[in-house]
Amino acid sequence: MDINLLRERDNISSFTVSELNNYIKNLLDSSRTLSSVTVRGEISNFTPHRSGHYYFSLKDADGQIRAVMFRSSAQRLKFMPESGMKVIAHGSVSAYVRDGAYQLYVSSLQPDGVGALYLAYEQLKEKLASEGLFDELHKKPIPKYPSKIGVVTSPTGAAIRDILNVTRRRYPIADVYIYPALVQGEGAAASVTSGIDYFDKSGLCDVLIVGRGGGSIEDLWGFNDETLARRIFSAKVPIISAVGHETDFTICDFVSDLRAPTPSAAAELAVPDIKELLVRLDGAEDRCVSALTRLTAASRERLMRCDENRLYELITDIISECKGELLENYVSLRDGIEAAISNSRARLAISSEKCNALSPLSVLTRGYSVVEAEGKIVRSRNDVNIGDELSVRVTDGVIKARATEIGKE
């Protein structure tokens, strides 16, 4: 709104701060030049907010301007801005009414002098290297004679054909398992990560090849993903990276246990050449036969040098000595067993006599008897009442009686 019109409407000679700020904002927003402007400068005071917005300033030798990049635009960046970074920013200039300050609202940002993807690649490479993910001490050895080989790649690309051709030619006894994955475009990194998860958790293969054919940095960008890199680092199965051509390098190459310049080279590194193995086995067989032949000849010669008669006498003496020891051991064992049996019999007889002496039946044979009332042994006159039926047990039977009188001794 025009300030003069504002004054005429309200019939006042002054205006509020917010009115002036709004007027300035309208002026900036109505400028065709400032609605779409590109600015070169150096980032300073870069502050990523927890909301996802980026706040910073752009400056050159003679001035600076405040800038903001909202989350919706920041999420599309391929790199992380930093203070001191020279960039090319595109957006619009407007005013923030509350503070009365104008600023640049950035919709896109790219490094000045280097590509955004390359910068993001260098940033991630430096970050992971500082954490030790590329260190040789973490590299797992590739098995010499794998029986099962896993491959995570596109099932229709040239890479899988090269890998299969080389594997079948060099080591046809190995089984090859393929996990079909996206290797380019959105979702490629997640797809390759899922393939690694599958082989690593299932334990299906002895070694794993991950890769694709060559292409531009945009084509290979899925293999520069941080999540994928960390999954390769944590995998238990050894991983060979085969991404692109010999001159192509990705984050996947640095973190893998072994980097191959091409998919064909990855297959050659994963399996031995069976023809070379057969040649080596033939050579080993020849050496073993020669060694056994020499050993047999030497043994035969030593045996022939022995005095046959003396050898016979020596063997006879050894056998006689063993017979004597065996007989002595037999006699000693027999005598020991007989003595043990005799002692056991004597102890059994003594125990039997003791039991008989303590038996109630033994007491009865000496003229004593046992009196029972109602099935219980009578030990005292108090155990019997007049008229009770009594059983008197003697050595050769039982006498029935009745109590007619109970008196003291």
What band does 365 get if pLDDT is binned at 50, 70 and 90? low
Answer whether residue 8 shows pLDDT above 70.
Answer: no
| Mean pLDDT computed over 266-275 | 91
Domain for residue 258, yes or no? Answer: yes
Tell me what the mean pLDDT of segment 185-195 comes to.
93
pLDDT tens digit string along 223-249? 999 999 999 999 999 999 999 887 778
Q: Do 293 and 223 share a structural domain?
A: no
Structural domain including 23 reads 3-113
268 and 171 in a common domain: yes
Check whether residue 106 and residue 199 sit in a common domain. Answer: no
Is the pLDDT reported for residue 190 higher than 90?
A: yes
- Does 396 lie in the same domain as 306? no
Band of residue 360 on the pLDDT scale cut at 50, 70, 90:
low
In a domain, 344, yes or no: no
Most confident stretch, 265-269, 279-283, 302-306 = 265-269
Pairing of strands 239-243, 389-394: unpaired
Share of the chain above pLDDT 90, in %: 38
CATH number at 151 reads 3.40.50.2300
In a domain, 331, yes or no: no
Q: What is the reported pLDDT for 18?
A: 84
337 within domain boundaries = no
- Quick one: DSSP state of residue 333? H
Contacts with 246 (C-beta within 8 Å, 6 or more apart), sequence order: 261, 262
**CB within 8 Å of 263: residues ≥ 6 apart:** 153, 158, 159, 160, 162, 163, 209, 211, 212, 213, 242
- Average pLDDT on 95-109 reads 87
Instruction: Check residues 325 and 113 and name the one with the higher pLDDT.
Output: 325
Mean pLDDT across 180-192:
92
pLDDT-derived band at 309 (thresholds 50, 70, 90) equals low
Let me know if residue 194 belongs to a domain.
yes
Amino acid at the residue 321: E
Strands 239-243 and 370-373 come out as unpaired
pLDDT score of 10 more than 60: no
Residue-wise pLDDT tens digits, 110-158 = 887 667 778 888 888 999 999 999 999 999 999 999 999 999 999 998 8
24 and 79 housed in the same domain: yes
Based on the fold, state whether residues 266 and 131 are members of the same structural domain. Answer: yes
Please compute the mean of the pLDDT values over residues 29-41 and round it to a whole number.
Answer: 85
Amino acid 192: pLDDT: 96
